[in-house]
Amino acid sequence: MTVHKMVIPHEHGGWAMVSVPFAAGVMASGPQWLHLPLFMAWLGLYLAAYPLLQSLKRKADLRRLYTWAVIYGVGAVVCLVPPLIGHPSILAFAPVLILLLLVNIWHVRHKAERSLTNDLCAMLMFSLGGAAAYLIGSGVWDYRMVIVLLFSFLHFTGSTFFVKSVFRERNNKRWVTMTRLLHIILLIIPVIAGYPWMSLAYIYSAVRAFVYAGRTLRPMKVGMIEIAGAVQFLIWFILF
């Protein structure tokens, strides 16, 4: 295999997690031109991390993996320059992102990528992209940023539990029960957080969990369900 063949993530859920929280942050704060280079930098970091993590799992094709990690990484750094000039405070996210990435690396090296802890850390990492987008648009660190981070994290937590409940854990009655209980909790948290109408964003997820959790579904159908869920989630951020 040649070095020139691109290395691109194949996990569809990853593309959603890198874009949906970011879009939520943009919608909650108002679009700014700096959002474009920031998103390109965020996407570049995601693309760079993928071949690096792949290199920990196999010894073959390392040259190609490292080459594309460098290409994506350099592109990300270049795109990050304008946002950093305009809002240098976004560097405050770096230590947290590095810590979460180290957790991800630990799980990869120990062949425990599918653990719930690793999934939660990954979702928190991606949700931080929404917080950064909000900071670029609003220029302030406030409670609304916390809400963007929290609601994005909750959305993908629900998605993770649901996807596991129809694939790897569909025969695990305890997991199915936890999935449905979690989705009930997701309806309550926005009320506690002071945004009761955002509970409406999780009704779709709750219905999905109660109807399909524990059943066998085709991957394409699950993908369509998740795309619809992400779209309706973003619509609520436009409204709130």
> What are the backbone angles phi and psi of residue 7, rounded to the nearest 5°?
-105, 115
Q: How many CB atoms lie within 10 A of CB 97?
A: 16
Total-model pTM: 0.92
> Which residues, in sequence order, are CB contacts of 77 under 8 Å at separation 6+?
41, 44
Q: Tell me the pLDDT of the chain (240 aa) as tens digits.
A: 455 678 888 777 788 899 999 999 999 999 999 999 999 999 999 999 999 988 888 777 888 899 999 999 999 999 999 999 999 999 999 999 999 999 999 988 888 888 889 999 999 999 999 999 999 999 999 999 999 999 999 999 999 999 999 998 889 999 999 999 999 999 999 999 999 989 999 999 999 999 999 998 898 899 899 989 999 998 887 877
